[in-house]
Amino acid sequence: MGRYTALILVLVGVCVLAVVLSCRPDTGGDPQAQPIRPVEGVVLFVTGSELGALKPCGCSGGQLGGLSKRRAIFDRVPADKRMIIDTGALVAGTQEQDVIKFRILFEAFRLLDYDMVHLEKPDVEMARNLGLLAEPDTGFELISAQWSDLETSRLRSYSKVLQFKGRKVTINVAAFDAQTDSPAQAAKFFGGRSEDLALNVLLLQNWDSQSRRIWAEESDADCVICQADTDEPQVLSEPGDEPLVFTTGRFGRHIGRLEVDFSESGDRLVWRLEDIPVVETLPEAEPLKRLYRQYQRIVKDSRLLEAYPRVPLPQGLSYVGSAKCASCHEYEYKRWSKKAHADAFATLVRVGSDHDPECVVCHVIGMDRESGFFTAETTPTMKNVGCENCHGPGSEHIRSMGEIAPGTPRMTCLDCHTPEHSSGYAGHESEYLQKIKHWREP
């Protein structure tokens, strides 16, 4: 509890339920279903754990997330009545594509008017390596509990004063590490603040359920935001319990919206947490759309496709491309040509992701194999989902004039039709199979 403020917690009862419902792919429907309530108080928006998810792939409908759609949610609250923070874990690794995404995320946070971004340990290292910590003005404050000796003057907390109903409310956010710090340090920090009306928010790193409970009890925070370890956001405290403990969920699919207001008597603060799914139908902000196109260009110019690691196929086999099958399997070839698989690469060209290995891998033949897809220019016959994606490499089959049955067993549809990339597949396997029918009836 803040020193001068007895704070009570209003947990929206439906919050957890809303979270569960929103994982259903069909919630993408109607943006109007998102109530746009007038803001009574001030709002703290919380995002985090993007893990490199800049934008949903668009493979199937109803996907949540996308940086360019955050603007529409933030702008439901006037700029002087909101604070926007990110809790960190920007990318998932340290590869070249992760580095590109990291820079793009920094630029996105600036374009989206973030007040503060918290960095986790890998974020700190990447930001340092990229020289981003030396930049005089990123457009937002950076805090972390993981600064190294090279960054001793850097802060682990950030405060913003917001004015409403003629009074000032301070939102204090401070980062602590459950393994290397103590809850007493946090209590001392929050207790040492002198504002009349304050919301004390603790960002807790490296927690487990045991340490989370101790920190919740002893840190004197009003809200504890933990690193997400699930895709969906979660409320970890019991309804009605103080402090409110929650996570944002992963991949930027949801935004936490904490609305802070005065109690009826006016002498203390109350707040409620809402989970806002970033639904497909939200409008995209133009500057962020442009930023994504810039990302696609950088990915292209970095020639990531060419640098992708490739291994040989077993038993000296190689891919030959779908056109080679046409001479002997004219019927099958013609029928395949008319179906979606045969246009899978054009789809990527249409959306500008035809140089992005994260997309190309499922839209071509054998990107991870030496004889498979390399680039659209050098291996045009390997574009699209071809015969060999399912029937295996054809080299020996053709050399033997069909004597040797095509190589490896059929790839399962699930390798590409994952729940994430093909939400309609599971439960409709036979309909999907019917749709790609290119073989003669026996």
Q: Among residues 146, 152, 93, 81, which one has the least CA distance to residue 118? A: 146
Going from the C-alpha of 425 to that of each of 62, 384, 435, the distances in angstroms are 14, 19, 12
For ligand HEC, the closer of residues 16 and 398 by Cβ is: 398
CB of 269 to ligand HEC, least distance (A): 42
Q: Residue 312 has which token pair?
A: 């040989």
Going from the C-alpha of 148 to that of each of 14, 130, 172, the distances in angstroms are 41, 15, 23
CB of 288 to ligand HEC, least distance (A): 16
CB of 292 to ligand HEC, least distance (A): 10
Beta carbons of 15 and 235 less than 8 angstroms apart: yes
For ligand HEC, the closer of residues 21 and 328 by Cβ is: 328
For ligand HEC, the closer of residues 69 and 118 by Cβ is: 69
For ligand HEC, the closer of residues 24 and 435 by Cβ is: 435
CB of 275 to ligand HEC, least distance (A): 25
Q: Residue 202 has which token pair?
A: 């603790």
For ligand HEC, the closer of residues 58 and 191 by Cβ is: 58
CB of 74 to ligand HEC, least distance (A): 24
Burial class (CB in 10 A: 0-12, 13-18, 19+), 187: middle
For ligand HEC, the closer of residues 34 and 337 by Cβ is: 337
Distance in angstroms (rounded) separating the CA atoms of residues 308 and 344: 20
Give the footprint of ligand HEC on this chain (CB under 6 A).
57-60, 320, 322, 324-325, 327-329, 332-333, 336, 340-341, 343-344, 347-348, 351, 353, 356, 358-359, 361-363, 385-391, 394, 397-398, 401-402, 405-406, 410-411, 413, 415-418, 421-422, 424-425, 432-433, 435-436, 438-439
For ligand HEC, the closer of residues 113 and 343 by Cβ is: 343
The 10 Å CB-count burial string (b at 16+, else e) for 44-74 is bbbbbbbbbbbbbbebbebbbbbbbbbbbbb
Biggest CA pair distance of the chain: 87
CB of 12 to ligand HEC, least distance (A): 33
Burial class (CB in 10 A: 0-12, 13-18, 19+), 255: buried
Cβ neighbours, 10 Å, residue 222: 26
For ligand HEC, the closer of residues 17 and 307 by Cβ is: 307
For ligand HEC, the closer of residues 85 and 416 by Cβ is: 416
Distance in angstroms (rounded) separating the CA atoms of residues 430 and 442: 18
For ligand HEC, the closer of residues 165 and 435 by Cβ is: 435
CB of 97 to ligand HEC, least distance (A): 11
For ligand HEC, the closer of residues 76 and 421 by Cβ is: 421
Beta carbons of 115 and 140 less than 8 angstroms apart: yes
Going from the C-alpha of 442 to that of each of 391, 397, 439, the distances in angstroms are 18, 21, 9
Distance in angstroms (rounded) separating the CA atoms of residues 294 and 181: 40
Burial class (CB in 10 A: 0-12, 13-18, 19+), 440: exposed
The 10 Å CB-count burial string (b at 16+, else e) for 134-150 is eeeebebbbbbbbbeee
CB of 326 to ligand HEC, least distance (A): 7
Distance in angstroms (rounded) separating the CA atoms of residues 67 and 50: 9
CB of 58 to ligand HEC, least distance (A): 4
Distance in angstroms (rounded) separating the CA atoms of residues 190 and 202: 9
CB of 407 to ligand HEC, least distance (A): 9
CB of 364 to ligand HEC, least distance (A): 8
